[in-house]
Structure 1
Amino acid sequence: MKFLPFILFTVLTNAAAQLMLKQGMMNLGPLAVDGVHPILRVLQIVFSPWVFLGLCTFVISMASHLYVLSKVELSFAYPFLSLAYVAVAVFAYFVFREDLNAWRIAGIAFICVGTVLIAQGGAGHAQSSASENPVQTSELAR
């Protein structure tokens, strides 16, 4: 559980990136490409302020996730990323006035329960007993 803050940071930066990308795409409006070269349009999208900030936040999230993966088991860390959906759904409700109906709330509850069960399932440390006794090169030749 010592790496839980890093896992939650990954989740929150992932969710924040999604919200920034949504804001950026809403600011851009319809993506009509009439008379605009497609590569120029892609560059216009990527370098619009909110989209660019969202992409940068994704890079930070991925760097954090890579750090987490170096410290805990993948089967422990990865399910926590589902909490990003929870954060996005709740924040999208408040920020973008998106629908948060009973079915979505039920799904969010299941995600939260599942994540808690996974968190209770073990410490999640990547170090195993096999890695405590490294194999010597001479042993591989046998």
Structure 2
Amino acid sequence: MTLQEFFLLVMSVLTSVTGQFFLKAGATKLGRVSVDNAVSHILSIITIPELILGLASYAIGALAYILLLTRVNLSIAGPSVSLVYVFSVLLGYFVFKESIPTSRLVGLSLIVTGVILIVWKK
């Protein structure tokens, strides 16, 4: 993986994680959706800045991923973006004070190990 390809991968991952952060922050503002308030909540999505930022971040991440796919095999790019899961859990822990059980740590370490094995060049 060249430096440019690595940059596109990092940009795709970080913008996706940023999108998840803003979507979570916006969803917290939105409140719990139920059958009674579903329509009003769905309509209010466009009025919550964090949700708009989250969707925009996802769009930028998707563009970076598309550019990455023009340079790298899907069998490398696809699993590599699974690092979003790792960073999302860390974001949840450090920002939203969510717990990380041991089983989740094991799963995250397996993801990181898998990505390393996939991108490793002999």
* TM-score of the pair, normalised by structure 1: 0.77
Q: Give CA deviations for 1:42-73 in whole Å, capped at 9, x if unaligned.
A: 23113311111000000000000010011111
Q: Distance in 2 between matches of 1:57 and 1:51?
A: 10
The equivalent of 1:83 in structure 2 is: 83
Q: How many percent of aligned residue pairs carry the same amino acid?
A: 33
1:27 Cα deviation after fit: 1.0
In structure 1, which of residues 11, 14, 26 is the aligned counterpart of residue 13 of structure 2?
11
Gaps of 5+ in 1: 123-142
TM-superposed deviation, 1:37: 8.2
- Mapped to 1, the partners of 2:68 and 2:46 lie a distance apart of 28
Q: Could you say which structure has the larger radius of gyration?
A: 1
Structure 2: give runs of 5+ residues left out of the alignment: none
Root-mean-square deviation (CA, aligned residues, Å) is 1.8
Q: Is the 8 A contact 2:19 2:53 kept in 1?
A: yes
1:31 deviates by 2.8
Give, in whole Å, the separation in 2 of the partners of 1:24 and 1:9.
22
CA distance in 2, matches of 1:102, 1:25: 27
Cα deviation for residue 121 of structure 1 reads 4.7
List per-residue Cα deviations over 1:90-136 (Å, max 9, x = no partner).
111011111111111111111000000001157xxxxxxxxxxxxxx
Deviation >3 Å, runs of 4+ = none
Structure-2-length-normalised TM-score: 0.89
Amino acid at match of 1:18: Q
**Match status 1:72 vs 2:90:** no
| d(CA) in 2 for partners of 1:91, 1:57 | 15
Distance 2:34 2:52 in 1: 20
Following superposition, the deviation at residue 15 of structure 1 comes to: 1.2
How many residues are paired up? 120
1:60-91 CA-to-partner distances (Å, cap 9, x unmatched) read: 00000010011111111111111000000011
